[in-house]
Amino acid sequence: MGRNAMSGKGRGLGIAAVAVGLVGLLLGLGGLAYARHAFGGSVVSSDSMTPTYGPGDRVAYERTDGSEVRRGDVVVFSAPDRYGFDALVMERVIGVGGDRVACTGCGASARVTVNGKPLEEPYLKGGEAGGFGMPSYDVRVPEGRLFLLGDHRANARDSRAFLDDQGGTLPVSAIRGRVIDDYTVPAVLGTAIMLGVVLVLVAVGLGIAAIVVRRKARAAIPPPPPWAVQV
């Protein structure tokens, strides 16, 4: 291969290295930044949400404004003024602003109603809606607040434990995210990040190849003939 051809190949490899590297950085850093902004992860530390989520379960949540959550959503929130710690707490949204949430009696006979209609709760631990020893309640949820309960009603320190504070409701501003069971988007983001890493490594390889080819091209220059040397 001639010197000009080798030099041209070196430049081509260098350009390819830059292009592939930029794409890799865009995918990797962009995907990582978006994932950290849009999603979070946590480990369940109590059995207040069993059988849906048990201690030690790893869960992912999408960061969302509390005003966007709906009845039935499982959310994570921070309420240090109630619980005495900053760690995330997980509970299920039962009522949103304007709803009337009620439960009379306790134990197996209890039934939660929302706006006068019995709530279907197939997720309950042992099918128990009230929780032994828990108080009856009839709460009108203020606008901008949520009424939250655990799925294991007999062992959940939820809105029922704070009925003297605006009916146990929580401000939507306390919500940090909505727990997700569909990992399609996080998986796509993870794939994009890994692809970005691979492309950056490929770019490094192309850059090394470009340097090697350029050195060979310079080494291929023949020395000047003796008669061309001037003294």
For the chain, what are the domain ranges?
A: 3-37+185-223, 39-182
pLDDT in tens, 8-28: 666 777 788 788 878 888 887
pLDDT in tens, 89-145: 999 999 999 999 999 766 667 889 999 999 999 999 988 888 767 778 999 999 999
Q: What is the pLDDT of residue 187?
A: 77
Q: Give the phi and the psi of residue 94 in degrees, each rounded to 5.
A: -105, -40
The Cα 121–Cα 111 span in angstroms is 9
The Cα 151–Cα 73 span in angstroms is 12
Q: Would you place residue 165 in the very low, low, confident or very high pLDDT band (cuts 50, 70, 90)?
A: very high
Buried b (16+ CB within 10 A) or exposed e, 203-217: beebbebbeebbeeb
SS3 198: helix
| pLDDT of 73 higher than 70 | yes
Q: Where are the alpha helices (DSSP H) in the chain?
A: 3-38, 80-83, 184-219
Q: What is the pLDDT of residue 181?
A: 86
Q: Percent of the chain having pLDDT more than 70?
A: 87
Report which of 19, 84, 60, 50 is spatially closest to residue 152, judged by C-alpha positions.
Answer: 50
Of the given ranges (28-42, 51-65, 171-185), which has the lowest mean pLDDT?
28-42
Q: What is the pLDDT of residue 210?
A: 74
| pLDDT of 226 higher than 90 | no
CATH topology of domain 39-182: Umud Fragment, subunit A (2.10.109)
Q: Would you place residue 183 in the very low, low, confident or very high pLDDT band (cuts 50, 70, 90)?
A: confident
| pLDDT of 230 higher than 60 | no
